[in-house]
Amino acid sequence: MSGLAGLIVKRLALGLLTLLIISIIIFGAMEALPGDTAQQILGQGATPEALAALREELNLNDPLPVRYLAWFTDALQGEFGVSVANQRPVADQLGPRFSNTLFLAAFAAAIAVPFAITLGVLAALFRNSIFDRVANAGALVSISSPEFFLGYVLILVLAVQNQIFPPIASVQPGMDFWARVEMSFLPALTMALVVMAYMMRMTRAAIINLLASPYIEMARLKGVPQGRVIVRHALPNALAPIINVVALNLAYLITGVVLVEVVFVYPGVGQLLVDSVSKQDGPVVQACCLIFAATFILFNLIADVGSIVTNPRLRHPK
């Protein structure tokens, strides 16, 4: 088992290294913005003295590596500086929005994962049947549609024509759990539909791959009933690909959240990111990008580690 622990530690180190490089890129990108932070806060008409004083106050005169280190260590402690647009600390704006986004992503995952895996396994078992074809066509359409198309279709049908759910997900801080679930049902459903399609296709491919392996054929040949082949022989080995599929798609969910939040005016990190990009609000964009990147890397890492743990063959690379 020491080999396994070593491999996992190696992956973790690799993930941290990636995060470090990404943070340098994100920091460097904001440095490339025209005009420094002091200029942006005070505007074009500022006097040189005021600019110099603010630069001194924000430590903008320090060399680049020093400022990067200061920014990164602060970021690790949850301090992302002050927004250029409204002078409020970024962390104060980000905190509640981040928990909103996590709630939405978790909600979408809770809908998508069970459905997608069940459908994927069924489509693989009854492959080339009418059920498989309908599921596949549905998945293709859902993958091909932009998130905002699905979102507006759902709003039109479930919020405007039949008033079942609210069209705008204005989640408030003090809301109780069920009110929150009702408010964010449509955005969660939109995300779930897109992710479900990917997850279903990947699960189906993984299971078909598995059913073609020799030991399944052996089990069939020696006369094991179909149900038992699936439950005893196929499913335990299907765990590895399924864990992988789920983790990869949760990482995808993080990207999809941006568009869905804008469609439903959901107060999350994605909406904040889009607003800040059009305002060229450097510190906020930095913080949002770092959070998204870190989550994305984390889920990819989980997918990696999950497949190493569940598939012994990956532990001994040839």
Partner 1 sequence: MATFSIIYFVLLIAGTATAAYLKNTAALLLLFTLLMVSFLAALLGGTNVLVGFTIAAGLLAAAAAVSYSFREALIVILPPNGAKLMRTAPLTASFGLLVVLIYIIAAIFAPVIAPFGESEVVAGAFALPDDQLLLGGDQLGRDLFSRLIYGARNTVGVAIVTTSLAFLLGTVAGLVAATMGGWVDQLLGRVVDVLLAIPQLIFALLLLTIFGAGIIELTVVIAVLYSPLVFRLTRAVAGNIVVMDYIEAARLRGESTWYLVSREVLPNITAPLSAEFGLRFCFVFLAISALSFLGLGIQPPTADWGSMVRETASLISFGLVTPLIPAGAIALLTVAVNFVVDWMLQLSSGLKE
End-to-end CA gap in the chain? 18
Regarding 115 and contact with partner 1 (CB under 8 A), the answer is no
CB of 114 to partner 1, least distance (A): 20
Cα gap 101→258, rounded to integer Å = 9
Cα gap 194→151, rounded to integer Å = 10
Bridge partners for 82 per DSSP: 89
Regarding 259 and contact with partner 1 (CB under 8 A), the answer is yes
Question: Which of 58, 85, 125, 143 touches partner 1 (CB under 8 A)?
Answer: 143
CB of 127 to partner 1, least distance (A): 7
Segment near partner 1 (CB under 8 A); pick from 55-63, 76-84, 93-101, 136-144: 136-144
Segment near partner 1 (CB under 8 A); pick from 35-43, 86-94, 157-165, 220-228: 157-165
CB of 213 to partner 1, least distance (A): 15
CB of 15 to partner 1, least distance (A): 9
Residues touching partner 1, count (CB under 8 A): 56
Question: Which of 58, 111, 293, 309 touches partner 1 (CB under 8 A)?
Answer: 293
Question: Which of 8, 11, 33, 52 touches partner 1 (CB under 8 A)?
Answer: 33
Question: Which of 121, 195, 207, 251 touches partner 1 (CB under 8 A)?
Answer: 251
Segment near partner 1 (CB under 8 A); pick from 15-23, 62-70, 102-110, 115-123: 15-23
CB of 82 to partner 1, least distance (A): 17
Cα gap 304→11, rounded to integer Å = 8
Stretch 166-185 residues interacting with partner 1 (CB under 8 A): 167
Residues that bind partner 1 (CB under 8 A): 18, 21-22, 25-26, 29-30, 32-33, 127-131, 134, 140-141, 143-149, 152-153, 155-156, 160-162, 167, 208, 251-252, 254-255, 258-259, 262-263, 273-274, 276-278, 280, 282, 285, 288-289, 292-293, 296-297, 300
